[in-house]
């Protein structure tokens, strides 16, 4: 569910459900994301899953049926949290599980999500989620790579940052996102800045020539060369 259109001029809102809300303090308070929040382009709300627990000890997990190590997030607090946050929008906006079992996050997914006005992210912990959350509540499941980290918090920050770059007004220069690696299926070309000669390592002459046609040609060629060398899979090579 990546194409729920937002109205012109509206911001994108992220609601994040987690048992470690304090992890998001630095993320939301610095850099591009913080500036976008301050400008009211992006809205971010962090929800403590324990606030939706019916247990007097605010417990949100339990042992897995059938035995095995670790704990599993219970369905009740997660369903209650999402339904409370989303209300009448349930079924019309993305409810995303951050999980190593999800589809790998890429630029296409991030760009698609940026067309939504509201996204809910659920951060897993322990051994994961009760399967009913996956099958009866979530609309999508996203992974940031083929490895396991302690929880979905860091993964949700990666997704939000990637999505936000496609939201108009977030970046100082909107061309930046269009020229990033993967935006056209290729890795980005090399960059250089002053000085032109650093310890004998010189900037390619074409970049200081002032000939923008040749500069663009050089950048395109270097982008292809870098992709072939580092990520041939992007070009369909094994």
| pLDDT, tens only, 21-64 | 999 999 988 888 888 998 999 999 999 999 999 999 999 999 99
Residue 182's pLDDT is what? 66
Q: Catalytic residue, from 15, 100, 125, 141: name it.
A: 100
- Which part of the chain has CATH 3.40.1280.10? 12-164
CB 16 within 8 A of CB 123: yes
CATH node for 181-235: 1.10.1270.20
Q: Which of 48, 180, 188, 222 is catalytic?
A: 180
pTM of the model: 0.84
173 φ/ψ angles, rounded to the nearest 5 degrees: -125, 115
Confidence band for 69, pLDDT divided at 50, 70 and 90? confident
Superfamily covering domain 12-164: SPOUT methyltransferase, trefoil knot domain (3.40.1280.10)
Q: Is 90 a residue whose pLDDT tops 70? A: yes
Contact criterion met (CB below 8 Å) for 94 and 113: yes
134 catalytic? Reply is: no
Catalytic residue among 76, 127, 161, 188: 127
Position 10 scores a pLDDT of 45
Q: Is 165 assigned a catalytic role?
A: yes
For residue 5, pLDDT beyond 60: no
> Does the active-site annotation cover 190?
no
Residue tagged 């079992």 (tokens): 101
The question of whether 233 is a catalytic residue gets the answer: no
pLDDT of residue 138 exceeding 90, the answer is yes
Q: Quote the mean pLDDT of the chain.
A: 90
Ranges in the chain annotated CATH 1.10.1270.20:
181-235
């Amino acid at each position: 569910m990546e194409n729920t259109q937002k109205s012109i001029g509206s911001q994108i809102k992220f609601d994040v459900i987690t048992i470690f809300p304090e992890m998001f303090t630095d993320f939301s308070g610095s850099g591009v994301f913080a500036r976008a929040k301050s400008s009211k382009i992006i809205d971010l709300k962090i929800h403590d899953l324990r606030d939706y627990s019916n247990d007097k000890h605010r417990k949100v997990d339990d042992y897995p049926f059938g035995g095995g190590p670790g704990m599993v997030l219970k369905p009740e607090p997660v369903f209650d949290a999402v339904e409370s946050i989303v209300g009448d929008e349930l079924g019309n906006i993305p409810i995303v599980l951050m999980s190593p079992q999800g589809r790998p996050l890429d630029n296409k997914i991030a760009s698609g999500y940026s067309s939504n006005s509201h996204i809910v992210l659920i951060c897993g912990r322990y051994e994961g989620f009760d399967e009913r959350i996956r099958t009866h509540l979530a609309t999508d499941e996203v992974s940031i790579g083929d490895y396991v980290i302690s929880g979905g918090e860091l993964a949700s920050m990666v997704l939000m940052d990637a999505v936000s770059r496609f939201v108009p007004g977030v970046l100082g220069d909107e061309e930046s996102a269009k020229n990033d690696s993967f935006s056209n299926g290729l890795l980005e070309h090399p960059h250089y800045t002053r000085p032109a000669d650093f310890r004998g390592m010189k900037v390619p002459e074409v970049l200081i020539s002032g000939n923008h046609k040749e500069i663009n040609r050089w950048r395109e060629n270097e982008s292809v060369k870098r992709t072939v060398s580092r990520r041939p899979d992007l070009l369909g090579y094994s």
